[in-house]
Amino acid sequence: MISFNQVSLIYPQAQKTIFNELTFSVPEGELLLIMGQTGSGKSSLLKLINGLVP
């Protein structure tokens, strides 16, 4: 299961908020499709899911 509860991500060097209080969960066995425009935070979300952002 993937679960996020009020997760915020800000890149200080860019002074840009990527996510503000993001909350969602994906039950085990479910699939998640991540899509959006360039710069919408798709890669940042994947990095968070994989624990690559402290």
Q: Residue 14 pLDDT more than 90?
A: no
| pLDDT at residue 54 tops 80 | no
What is the C-alpha to C-alpha distance for residues 16 and 31, in angstroms, rounded to an integer?
A: 29
Measured between alpha carbons, how far is 14 from 12 in angstroms, rounded to an integer?
A: 5
| Alpha carbon distance 48, 37 (integer Å) | 18
Structural contact between residues 2 and 32, judged by C-beta atoms closer than 8 angstroms: yes
Q: What is the pLDDT of residues 21-52, one digit of tens each?
A: 999 999 999 999 999 999 899 999 999 999 99
Give the per-residue pLDDT at 13. 85
Tell me the pTM. 0.79
